[in-house]
Chain A
Amino acid sequence: MLDKHQIAKRIAQELKDGYYVNLGIGIPTLVANYIPEGINVVLQSENGLLGIGPFPTDEEVDADLINAGKQTVSMLRGASLFSSAESFAMIRGGHVDLTVLGAMEVSENGDIANWKIPGKMVKGMGGAMDLVASAENIIVAMKHVNREGKSKLLKQCSLPLTGLNCVKKIVTELAVLDVLPQGGFKLLERAPGVSIEEIEKATDGKLLIEGEVPEMIIY
């Protein structure tokens, strides 16, 4: 079973040289720590920054420089700054190559719910609806089951949706899965030491297993 850092590491292996990437709040933010050596990716922050650098040192902290999670950040050499309208023009216009975000639920046809629990939690969608409506390539980083032990990979989402038919890949503590265009979660890799039965038990939606399912290799 993977911890959140290993989930981030596994997702980082999906990055390709030259990608512009938007990382959501939580586990997705950690992906920035594991960008493979030898490839160049540029991280986009929807509050108006391309070229997010590492967290600053104590002396470098600048209240005017934060990421979308409101954490203080630094800028890489060659970074650029812009307004929120420009930022979402990049996102809607399809200029961002990969979006990684968290989710409460994903359905077997790629619907995602991650912004609201009616009557309980209303924090808002932030930029998530814009991101999932426009991105060609969306990876979800999340736990396979919720705190009550219920699967988060479902036939249909029960919570209010953030977007339709948009998730392409999911990485959880148990597995890597593709969401197929015709529907269904295709099991690609198992976390080290996790059996297919455990993944089946934790998956409510249609799970497709073809041949040997290899264990993940986390560099």
Chain B
Amino acid sequence: MINKVVENADTAIHDIIDGSVLMLGGFGLCGIPENCIKALLKRGVKQLTCISNNAGVDDFGIGLMLQTKQVKKMIASYVGENAEFERQLLSGELEVELIPQGTLAERIRAGGAGIPAFFTPAGVGTEIAAGKEIREFEGKKYLMEGGLKADFALIKAWKGDTAGNLIFKGTARNFSPMMAAAGKTTIAEVEELVPAGDLDPNCIHTPGIYVKRIFQGKDYEKRIEQRTISKN
């Protein structure tokens, strides 16, 4: 098996440069690549385009990269819960493209799967349809949306092996499997790195072919946005 292991987050992201286009896995703060984000803050690369469902919160996740003004453009579906983001957006410092969540997921999937464009009903008749081709199929209107790719996809999995095979846990999977395929260089950080052969091939969510580098992550905070508990 090809060994994809690199030492740590710093070595994994060493070739990300100013202006790189990044995809970052996660839904809210669930399943975000915490180690890679920390390494990006340390490396200080700027003018980044970040494709991620959300933009973190003010003091965690992608929000940290907004504080340091490393992000030029954000492509996301929902950016609430982040005051600094809203400030930069309304002041025009930050370019933002908002995309319906299902369209975002499918554009990333298409990008990684060699599909240049597809048709979806989401957004027909709204301002996001502006300038897009509309076509009718079986009496219903659809928008043409293009596949999305990135220079780097930064994802986090629960378990991974040295060959780059990944297993996610709970709802931390979200956008990461599609991003793995859509990144020219996909970097996976994992909570538990095991030798190839230790994971059941029947249970792999993301096959190693998509993963170029993998490393054992550390010090996961796994912050919870809305800790909601039952009273009983």
Contacts and interface: CB of A to CB of B under 8 A. Distances in A.
A1 to B, nearest CB: 26
Interface string A81-105: 1111101100110000000000000
B124 interface: yes
B76 interface: yes
B100 A70 contact: no
A130 to B, nearest CB: 3
Interface residues of A, number: 49
A182 interface: no
Interface in B149-205: 158, 168-178, 205
A54 B230 CA distance: 7
A161 to B, nearest CB: 5
Contacts of B102: 46, 84, 87-88, 91-92, 127, 129-130
A157 to B, nearest CB: 10
Nearest to A66: B30
A91 to B, nearest CB: 6
B222 A64 contact: yes
A78 B83 CA distance: 38
B226 A71 contact: yes
A218 interface: no
Given A47-B171, A55-B230, A84-B53, A124 B79 contact: yes
A45 interface: yes
Interface residues of B, number: 58
B171 A48 contact: yes
A128 B77 CA distance: 10
Contact of B173 (A48, A91, A122, A161): A48
Nearest to B96: A122
A70 B30 contact: yes
B230 A83 contact: no
Contact of B226 (A45, A72, A91, A92): A72
For the complex of A and B, list the 10 residue pairs with the smallest distance between their C-beta atoms, beginning with the closest: A88-B102, A130-B102, A64-B170, A123-B80, A63-B222, A129-B100, A164-B125, A133-B121, A126-B78, A71-B228
Interface of A: 45-49, 54-58, 61-67, 69-73, 81-85, 87-88, 91-92, 111, 119, 122-130, 133-134, 160-164
